[in-house]
Structure 1
Amino acid sequence: MTISHDVSGTGSTVLFVHSTVVDRRMWDPQVPALTAAGYRVVRCDLRGYGDSPVPDRPYDNAGDVLDLLDLVGADSAALVGASGGGRVCLELAARRPDRVHALALLCTAVADHEPSAELRAFGDREDELLEAGDVAGATELNVATWLGPHADDATRDRVRLMQRHAFEVQLAATEEFPAVRTPVDLSAITAPSLIVSGDHDVIDFREIATRLAAGLPGSRHVELDWAGHLPSLERPEVVNELLLDFLANRI
């Protein structure tokens, strides 16, 4: 199955992978800035998000993204991933370092992270709300958890729309299939990396950023004192500048 995607602009390929709170529409503010700078922007919806259907068998997100690179004719690309999408980008960069020449990770997850009490409490509460049929409550929990205090109402509405859609698509599935995740060998990653974290994010993602900055070659860690978990939506102009500066020196 080819995951849903879109392609804008021409030039070197930059492929965006969304957070699992939202879908590829989270990158709407980045597309015009990058295409204007001369990049070809590819955005995808992981399975069960946006326009990609839920999986009908065990699935491999990193493999799906690699297949998409083949489909759009990109021998290599810069990858930009947020949260769960960052975890996918890390898996692909470790598995196929020849296909990834730059790696930007925004508040990224990693496959082997042991969740904190705060993150476990969030997951437990989300499960309780969904099991009770309170999709609206679970959606509001996510909006409150993942956006920083400076996010405006329009941004909260956008995240609310995308998270609600993801819940509706996933809850409608008759059977749930697991994602195949490969352990990430950080030493296998050769791409230079930009690691962004938010001072108002859940502590797990700030700790992951510190760990990756110490373990990835040629890495630069930027912590944003105003940001929650989705800085590219909260203040897109700041993140666009960070991405363009990073990419200009690596493509």
Structure 2
Amino acid sequence: MTLAYDVSGHGPAVLLLHSTVCDRHMWDPQMPALTGAGYQVVRCDLSGYGDSPVPDGPFDNVQDVADLLDSLGIERLAVVGASGGGRVALEFAARWPARVSALALLCSAMRGHEPSVELRKFGAQEDALLEAGDVAGATELNVNLWLGPEADEATRSKVRMMQRHAFEVQLAVDATAAQSEVAQAQAEAESAQAQAQAQAKAPAPAPAQGAQAQAAEAEAAQAQAAHAQAVHEQAAHAQAATTAEPAEKAELAPAQSATDRQLAANAELATSQPTAEAEADAQQGATEDGGVDLSSIVAPALVVSGAHDLPDFEEIAVHLAGVLPHARHLHLDWAGHLPSLERPDLTNALLVSFLANPS
């Protein structure tokens, strides 16, 4: 999968991985500060976000990022990840520890974390809105939850636009999949009807067959006709679904919830299963049960949490600070879930200072 990206500046490389509420443009406020500090900054859109489409089949975000860096000729770099991008950063650093010189995690998600009651409640609310076709309401729910009190209206508008775009991309993919199911159901219905008609036109059985054989054939023909009718009704229902109003489409195939996106580490989703090739390339840093061996990470790490974020992310930050070999936890009393957008001035100074002296 080729990811959309841009590169700015000259010097040691820094990779920015966005939150799954946003896309690579969430890092707009950091670009001048990091390039001005003498870094070459790479930022990309993960699959299904920003300008990166959703692949047709299984994909692996971590392998996609590695492939992008290889194409740019970047062997070693610092990695900064926010939320869901933090999970990707963690797994990249675990698979290829020698490639990562420093690791900054802003309110990071993590594979295997058990969601809190608050996060599950939010996920249920978001699902309900999407199933009702209220994409605007689901978008606003995300903006209100993930931004802390320091975010101004311009920032809220920016996040609103990025989140809405992510929903629209996901819903469009779902609609395409539904149309494919319609075509398949219609083909099955036509085949079943043709078979039933052929059965009905078949010559009457010879008298030598006997009453029992005739009854069995009649019963089979009736069953075939009933099956054809059922498949036809299924195709008609599917066709109606694809031509329905957006609210009805969302009910049949809602976009992936933010709970799933933010904590995709809790369970591997069908759209993000690593390929066999990726698994072979990434045996280092993986555990026998398919998880990630965080102890393989050797880069110094800064793990950030916010006082106005959900408790999940402070819990994750505390855990990471305890298990990563060279990590420290910084809790920001002013921050929500997206500190780089809420207070760019403070976050930029924090990142520049850490990258200059990560040890």
When normalised by structure 2's length, the TM-score is 0.68
Which amino acid is the alignment partner of residue 346 of structure 2?
A: V
Residue 205 of structure 1 corresponds to: 313
Residue 130 of structure 1 corresponds to: 130
Residue 180 of structure 1 corresponds to: 273
Structure 2 counterpart of 1:192, from 300, 314, 324: 300
* CA distance in structure 1 between the aligned counterparts of 2:128 and 2:358, rounded to whole angstroms: 45
Residue 37 of structure 1 corresponds to: 37
1:178-219 Cα distance to aligned partner (Å, 9 max, x none): 212652211110010011110000000010000001111221
Which structure has the larger Rg over C-alpha atoms?
A: 2
Which amino acid is the alignment partner of residue 126 of structure 1?
A: E
Q: Deviation above 2 Å: which 4+ runs of structure 1?
A: 174-177
Residue 94 of structure 1 corresponds to: 94
* Identity across matched positions, percent: 68
Residue 168 of structure 1 corresponds to: 168
Structure 2 counterpart of 1:227, from 335, 349, 359: 335
Which amino acid is the alignment partner of residue 77 of structure 2?
A: A
Can you give the 5+ residue segments of structure 2 that lack an aligned partner in the other structure? 178-255, 257-269, 275-289
* CA distance in structure 2 between the aligned counterparts of 1:79 and 1:110, rounded to whole angstroms: 15
1:6-45 Cα distance to aligned partner (Å, 9 max, x none): 0000111000000000000000000000001110000000
Which amino acid is the alignment partner of residue 184 of structure 1?
A: V
Residue 64 of structure 2 corresponds to: 64
Displacement, 1:249? 1.3
* CA distance in structure 2 between the aligned counterparts of 1:149 and 1:27, rounded to whole angstroms: 19
Residue 82 of structure 1 corresponds to: 82
Give aligned pairs, total.
Answer: 251
Secondary structure at the residue paired with 2:168? helix
1:245 aligns with 2:338: no
Displacement, 1:85? 0.3
1:133-170 Cα distance to aligned partner (Å, 9 max, x none): 10000000000100112211111111001000111111
Displacement, 1:68? 1.0
* CA distance in structure 2 between the aligned counterparts of 1:55 and 1:125, rounded to whole angstroms: 27
* CA distance in structure 2 between the aligned counterparts of 1:77 and 1:179, rounded to whole angstroms: 24
Conservation of the 8 A alpha-carbon contact between 1:69 and 1:76: no
Secondary structure at the residue paired with 1:172? helix
Q: Between Structure 1 and Structure 2, which shows a larger proportion of helix residues?
A: 2
Which amino acid is the alignment partner of residue 198 of structure 1?
A: G
Instruction: Give the alignment of 1:11-22 within 5 angstroms.
Output: 11-22=11-22
Which amino acid is the alignment partner of residue 134 of structure 1?
A: D
Secondary structure at the residue paired with 2:272? coil
Which amino acid is the alignment partner of residue 244 of structure 1?
A: V
Residue 152 of structure 1 corresponds to: 152
Which amino acid is the alignment partner of residue 49 of structure 2?
A: Y
Conservation of the 8 A alpha-carbon contact between 2:301 and 2:358: no
Which amino acid is the alignment partner of residue 201 of structure 1?
A: D
Q: Structure 1 residues 173-182 or 137-146, which shifts more?
A: 173-182
Conservation of the 8 A alpha-carbon contact between 1:91 and 1:183: no
Which amino acid is the alignment partner of residue 119 of structure 1?
A: L
Conservation of the 8 A alpha-carbon contact between 1:61 and 1:180: no
1:68-118 Cα distance to aligned partner (Å, 9 max, x none): 110111111100000000000101100110111110000000011110111
* CA distance in structure 1 between the aligned counterparts of 2:141 and 2:22, rounded to whole angstroms: 14
When normalised by structure 1's length, the TM-score is 0.97
Secondary structure at the residue paired with 1:7? strand
Can you give the 5+ residue segments of structure 1 that lack an aligned partner in the other structure? none
Q: Structure 1 residues 226-235 or 169-178, which shifts more?
A: 169-178
Which amino acid is the alignment partner of residue 67 of structure 1?
A: D
Instruction: Note the aligned Cα RMSD (angstroms).
Output: 1.3
* CA distance in structure 2 between the aligned counterparts of 1:220 and 1:168, rounded to whole angstroms: 38
1:44-79 Cα distance to aligned partner (Å, 9 max, x none): 000000000012111100001111110111111100
Which amino acid is the alignment partner of residue 90 of structure 1?
A: L
Displacement, 1:123? 0.8
Displacement, 1:250? 4.1
* CA distance in structure 1 between the aligned counterparts of 2:121 and 2:55, rounded to whole angstroms: 27
* CA distance in structure 1 between the aligned counterparts of 2:121 and 2:348, rounded to whole angstroms: 33
